[in-house]
């Protein structure tokens, strides 16, 4: 900041191309419970990390779809929506 300017470098991640993700999904012959008809940005972000992505996806599946736990599926969706909104999350 010697010249009076603030360095505002933004963080960025090289995201997996949407076409590549669809190819992987088709080859695995799997259908995700959330099929929006488009590839959400969060899915691309998760796919960008080969080690953390699968673990995060498995955790998400357990939290949202496991029959265990006290909350119904609708209640889990509501908690997720409120938490995302509170964080100004657009994913």
Q: What is the pLDDT tens value at each position of the chain, 91 positions in all?
A: 456 666 667 767 788 788 887 777 777 666 666 767 777 778 888 888 888 888 988 898 888 888 898 999 899 999 999 999 999 886 5
> Is the Cβ–Cβ distance between 41 and 91 less than 8 Å?
yes
From residue 78, alpha-carbon distances to 1, 16, 45, 46, 90 in Å are: 44, 29, 23, 22, 15
């Amino acid at each position: 900041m010697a010249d009076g300017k603030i360095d505002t470098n933004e963080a960025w991640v090289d995201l997996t191309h949407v076409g590549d993700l669809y190819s992987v999904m088709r080859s695995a012959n799997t259908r995700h419970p959330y099929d929006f008809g488009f590839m959400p940005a969060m899915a691309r972000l998760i796919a960008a990390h080969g080690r953390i992505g699968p673990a995060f996806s498995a955790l998400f599946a357990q939290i949202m779809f496991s029959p265990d736990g006290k909350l119904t599926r609708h209640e889990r969706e509501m908690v997720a929506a409120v938490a995302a909104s509170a964080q100004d999350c657009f994913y």
